[in-house]
Amino acid sequence: MDELFQTRLSSQLQIVETDARMHTIRKVLSMTKWFTSEELMQRIINGSETGEATIRNWLASREIFSVIHNEQMLFARYQFDSHDRPLPIINLILDILKIDDPWAIAAWFVCENSWVKKTAESCHCSPVDILDRHEELMCAARHERATHFS
């Protein structure tokens, strides 16, 4: 009887975690703008490499991250400067975070974080709001606790 109870409890917890994760993914998707891989490739094609090779290199060196949604690779637009090059701070943050789950990374950037101070322009306190405040952003990354259910 105790084993049956444990099995049912474990199953129910998995359902709750899955529901929470799906809620977070929907929220993260709505909180930022995204490039599809095709859109990003078209924006970054240069004379020496194809866009696909460039993206592959950026991902391999953790200069950027991507998520998969509906079988499509997506890239948060806030990772790029006005010339569609990766912001150097993204690589620094990814190295500090050491998170393998791309959705957890995306959530970390857009969800409120107590280590991020509000700005005058924003009532929202998330890392994406302070991409220009490198020291504060890296401090927030160092205090990561891997809990990003919204």
98: amino acid identity, one letter: K
Question: From first to last of its 150 residues, what are the pLDDT tens digits of the chain?
Answer: 587 767 766 667 677 777 787 888 899 999 999 999 999 998 887 545 688 889 999 999 999 999 999 999 999 999 999 999 999 999 999 999 988 899 999 999 998 888 887 766 655 589 998 999 999 999 999 988 655 444
Per-domain residue ranges of the chain: 2-142
114: tokens are 């107590």
**pTM (2 d.p.):** 0.80
Q: How many residues does the chain have?
A: 150
pLDDT of residue 149: 44
Please state, in angstroms and as integers, the Cα–Cα distance from residue 103 to each residue in 9, 12, 21, 115, following that order.
Answer: 26, 22, 9, 20
Closest to 102 (Cα-Cα) out of 42, 133, 56, 148:
148
Query: What distance in Å separates the CA atoms of residue 108 and residue 99, rounded to the nearest whole number?
Result: 10
